[in-house]
Chain A
Amino acid sequence: MFALENKNHPTPMKIKHVALSLALMATGIASAHADRLVIKGSDTLGAKLVPQLAEQFKAQHPGTTFDIAAEGSTTGIAAIIDGTAQIGMSSRRAKSSEVGAAASKGKNMKPTIVAFDGIGVIVNSANPIKGLTKKQVEQIFTGDVTDWSAVGGSGGKISVYTRNTSSGTYSDFKELAMKKRDYAGGSQKMAGNEQIASEVGKNPNGVGYVGMAYLKAGGIKAMPIDGALPSTKSVQAHSYPYWRPTFYYTNGDPSGLAKDFVDFTVGSGGQKIVAQVGFVPIK
């Protein structure tokens, strides 16, 4: 026989109260989650552009919060695959292996171009060199050439600064400028564009590359490549050799807050900020 009543058990009224409380809590969490956007990935996009876009977006959507982590494109794509972010920022295309990994987890890597960028090759502003060819850029960054005198400079051992391996710019530059060859053995890997610009600005023999948004840093100058400088016009016309699209990756078509933010980014308001920060608008 079972006991009909147990005083240690909650009464029906108490159960109803707890259930109501839980429902309210859950609603509250859902509500908070819906107004919070987690964005991870590219330092190129995440250091300046996306925070400024987020600020503007928040002004139009009060109550929205952003969690932005800019640790390289690889981390952004991985975050979409793992489901730990709604938007993955990337300055490169997802690799075949990443797309395959996403598919195996039921994810669909959907790219949205948010801006164009030109990867500028920078040297110290005191460096007398006036320009480089594509071949010379390849030779410098692969270590085939180690002295400035070999590329028309005044002499001195070349110090190569690159991004670290999780950076989309790191792999994009290999593909665009180095025929996918490895970087020179002695190249120094920096965490972000600003660090590269800073190091090259301090080192008269330094050379590196940064996104267009960082070309105005002090102590550096951008090199014309085969006579072309990265500019809005040359990048939009795809005539500058080291141009590239930059992306938001989402799991399939974005929805909810993520869709709103993507739409804002590619809309006129967002593209205005894109131009202000130093990137090239998509239209």
Chain B
Amino acid sequence: MKKLTLAAAALCVALGGTAARAQDAGALLDLLVKKRLISDQEAEEVRSELVKESASTAAGKWKLSAPITELELYGDVRLRYEYRGGRTPSEHTDNPNDWYERERERYRLRVGLRGTLADDWFFGIRLETSASSRSTNVTFGGEPSGGPFAKGDDGIFVGQAYFGYTGFPDFKFTGGRMPQPLIVTSMLWDDDINPEGLAEQWKHTFTFDLGGGGGEAVQSYSKGGYSKDGKVVAAPAAEPFKLKLDVFANFAQYVYDDTNPENPIGPRPTTTGNNTGNNQLVPQTDAFMMAWQVGARLTFPNSIYVQLAPTLYNYTGNGDSFNIHFVGGNPALSNSASLATNQTGINSLLVFDLPAEVGWKAWGLPMRIFGEFADNIEGHDRAHAAADLGGFDAHTGQHYAWMIGGALGQLKAKNDWEIRAWYQYAGQYALDPNLVDSDIFDSRVNQKGVAVKAGYMVADAISLNLTWAYAWRINGALGTGGLGDIQVNPLDQYQIFQADMSVKF
């Protein structure tokens, strides 16, 4: 009888997953011993056999430190063909109406580990190809030396390194180089950017049970949880309800630029990088970017939702890399001189941003309309500062940006498809040109245009994506501020086409 029981116990345990057998066996064997169905020695022999079997598997050979309660390996590899081109303006002094074009084949690799730790802590790291903040791509054959297939630009860099705490209900605290904790769009933020600093998030869900129904939660900072991109995740189906209201607040303090040193030996250094020929003291304070976001998402039955996430971005301190006043190019100058004007200054930026989204399902197809309006409240000052340095008139109306678009479908599983299209308008002094998307429209402001993205999931892990965008300069009297791939300023017209194949694991 005992042997039968022992065999049954072993069989039960063996039916489980190989990696989990030894751990599962512990509880089961303890129970069988407690009920005196098997002896301690018999239990020990079974346990020993299972440990031996487990140790011979791949999973059994991995050893994780004791505080790790959950660990996930993830990442993606992407192959891309890209064309992008930009046209010089007709009034260009060097080569009017000429196209600067670039075609390239690229790849990217991102591989990360993220997990939860004991006592409500969590962490994540991610390694990426490319040192650029706004790209993880490496161009095939892009090395200028080292012969064909050289590895000079195939580096591995730390894209994310963060940890945080979720021990207080509804709160999540994160520090380090982290996935974007804010609800953002590509108009303001390139999605490759992993900001550095601190973030505090709060989210609370109110449900109004008005007699049945159902819905989907969309974002969760719940205890112990983390989303794959730090953004939107699908949460488990909620209890029946008519209305669900997610109220959230996201605050961030990013270290934008570190000054080094804060206190030099001897007199403070000066710079003439302001294009005036005059000396300017190099600042002695770090530059910080603060984000203040409060918002809500109201979910109705049948997956209808409305989300608003008003945000205020302000900058404080100077740093030593972005303290020269922004000019953003000058059409009256030669192309090289226009490119050499300051493109990265963060003076007079106090940006109010309002991303909004409405979504629903029809005929089983997810649909959404999204839009955004941003206004640089200090845009007038930024325009005057640029005009003063650039020697042109101040175009103070260039302080706002907006976009509107729609999407059909979604990309989650095999055979899913999605198409997105939008129109975007970004004034020269509306946004921080160091953060805007590097593809749409080449990291530039003073651009308006359309963009279309289409995607298809060939398999659960394989997707195909096509992206096309076309843009025009908004204000012909100004340059197109920002540092992009197209070595033209002003960028009178711009076009990009990308074909991607990605494997996600």
Given known A-B contacts A93-B47, A96-B22, A96-B60, A103 and B55 have beta carbons under 8 A apart: yes
**Is B341 in contact with chain A by the CB < 8 A criterion?**
no
Q: How far, in whole Å, are A282 and B52 apart by their CA atoms in the complex? A: 24
Q: Which residues of the other chain, B, contact A99 by a CB distance below 8 angstroms? A: 48, 51-52, 55
Q: Which residues of the other chain, B, contact A219 by a CB distance below 8 angstroms? A: none
**Is B118 in contact with chain A by the CB < 8 A criterion?**
yes
Most buried by B among A96, A97, A108, A181: A96
* Cβ-defined contact, A282 with B48, below 8 A: no
* Cβ-defined contact, B48 with A109, below 8 A: yes
**Is B277 in contact with chain A by the CB < 8 A criterion?**
no
Write out, one digit per residue, whether chain A residues 85-103 have a CB within 8 A of any chain B CB (1) or not (0): 0000000011011011001
Residue of A nearest to B67 (CB): A181
Q: How far, in whole Å, are A100 and B66 apart by their CA atoms in the complex? A: 19
Q: How far, in whole Å, are A180 and B54 apart by their CA atoms in the complex? A: 20
Residue of A nearest to B119 (CB): A181
* Cβ-defined contact, A180 with B66, below 8 A: yes
* Cβ-defined contact, B60 with A181, below 8 A: no
**Is B91 in contact with chain A by the CB < 8 A criterion?**
no
Total CB contacts across the A-B interface at under 8 A: 54
Q: How far, in whole Å, are A247 and B47 apart by their CA atoms in the complex? A: 13
Q: Which of B37-45, B161-169, B256-264 contacts A (4 or more CB under 8 A)?
A: B37-45
Q: Which residues of the other chain, A, contact B66 by a CB distance below 8 angstroms? A: 174, 180-182
Chain A residues 232 to 274 lying within 8 A of chain B, measured CB to CB, are 238, 245, 247
Write out, one digit per residue, whether chain B residues 39-79 have a CB within 8 A of any chain A CB (1) or not (0): 01100110110011011100011010011000000000000
Min Cβ gap B345→A in Å is 47
Min Cβ gap B337→A in Å is 61
Q: Which residues of the other chain, B, contact A245 by a CB distance below 8 angstroms? A: 40, 44
* Cβ-defined contact, A100 with B56, below 8 A: yes
Q: How far, in whole Å, are A37 and B46 apart by their CA atoms in the complex? A: 27
Q: How many residues of B contact A (CB 8 A)?
A: 21
Given known A-B contacts A181-B66, A238-B34, A96 and B41 have beta carbons under 8 A apart: no
* Cβ-defined contact, A109 with B52, below 8 A: yes
Residue of B nearest to A114 (CB): B41
**Is A113 in contact with chain B by the CB < 8 A criterion?**
yes
**Is A202 in contact with chain B by the CB < 8 A criterion?**
no
Q: Which residues of the other chain, A, contact B30 by a CB distance below 8 angstroms? A: 238
* Cβ-defined contact, B40 with A97, below 8 A: no
**Is A134 in contact with chain B by the CB < 8 A criterion?**
no
Q: Which residues of the other chain, A, contact B45 by a CB distance below 8 angstroms? A: 110-111
**Is B33 in contact with chain A by the CB < 8 A criterion?**
yes
Min Cβ gap B43→A in Å is 9
Q: Which of A94, A100, A116, A174 contacts B61 (CB 8 A)?
A: A100
Q: How many residues of A contact B (CB 8 A)?
A: 23
Q: Which of A100, A109, A182, A247 contacts B60 (CB 8 A)?
A: A100
Min Cβ gap B355→A in Å is 42
**Is A179 in contact with chain B by the CB < 8 A criterion?**
yes
**Is A112 in contact with chain B by the CB < 8 A criterion?**
yes
Q: How far, in whole Å, are A5 and B89 apart by their CA atoms in the complex? A: 109
Q: Which of B55, B67, B118 contacts A96 (CB 8 A)?
A: B55
Q: How far, in whole Å, are A180 and B55 apart by their CA atoms in the complex? A: 20
* Cβ-defined contact, A181 with B118, below 8 A: yes
Q: Which residues of the other chain, A, contact B118 by a CB distance below 8 angstroms? A: 179, 181
Q: Which residues of the other chain, B, contact A108 by a CB distance below 8 angstroms? A: 52
Q: Which residues of the other chain, A, contact B22 by a CB distance below 8 angstroms? A: 96
Given known A-B contacts A179-B118, A238-B34, A111 and B48 have beta carbons under 8 A apart: yes
Q: Which residues of the other chain, A, contact B51 by a CB distance below 8 angstroms? A: 93-94, 96, 99
Most buried by A among B47, B51, B61, B63: B51
Residue of B nearest to A101 (CB): B55
Chain A residues 167 to 183 lying within 8 A of chain B, measured CB to CB, are 174, 179-182
Min Cβ gap A59→B in Å is 26
* Cβ-defined contact, A100 with B48, below 8 A: no
Q: How far, in whole Å, are A238 and B29 apart by their CA atoms in the complex? A: 13
Q: Which residues of the other chain, B, contact A109 by a CB distance below 8 angstroms? A: 48, 52
Min Cβ gap A272→B in Å is 18
Min Cβ gap B63→A in Å is 6
Q: Which residues of the other chain, B, contact A182 by a CB distance below 8 angstroms? A: 66
Chain A residues 62 to 101 lying within 8 A of chain B, measured CB to CB, are 93-94, 96-97, 99-100
* Cβ-defined contact, B44 with A100, below 8 A: no
* Cβ-defined contact, A94 with B48, below 8 A: yes
Min Cβ gap A248→B in Å is 11
* Cβ-defined contact, A103 with B44, below 8 A: no
* Cβ-defined contact, A113 with B48, below 8 A: no
Q: Which residues of the other chain, A, contact B55 by a CB distance below 8 angstroms? A: 96-97, 99-100, 103
Min Cβ gap B201→A in Å is 26
Q: Which of A96, A97, A110, A238 contacts B33 (CB 8 A)?
A: A238
Q: Which residues of the other chain, B, contact A110 by a CB distance below 8 angstroms? A: 45, 48
27 contacts between A and B (CB under 8 A): A93-B48, A93-B51, A94-B48, A96-B51, A96-B60, A97-B55, A97-B63, A99-B48, A100-B55, A100-B60, A103-B52, A103-B56, A108-B52, A109-B52, A110-B48, A111-B44, A111-B45, A111-B48, A113-B40, A113-B41, A113-B44, A116-B40, A179-B118, A181-B66, A238-B33, A247-B44, A282-B41
8 nearest CB pairs, A to B:
A100-B55, A180-B66, A99-B55, A96-B55, A99-B52, A99-B51, A111-B44, A113-B41
Beyond A103-B56, A110-B48, 18 extra complex contacts between A and B, CB < 8 Å: A93-B44, A93-B47, A96-B22, A96-B60, A99-B55, A100-B55, A100-B60, A100-B61, A109-B48, A110-B45, A111-B48, A112-B41, A113-B40, A113-B44, A116-B40, A181-B67, A238-B30, A282-B40
Q: Which residues of B contact A (CB under 8 A)?
A: 22, 30, 33-34, 40-41, 44-45, 47-48, 51-52, 54-56, 60-61, 63, 66-67, 118
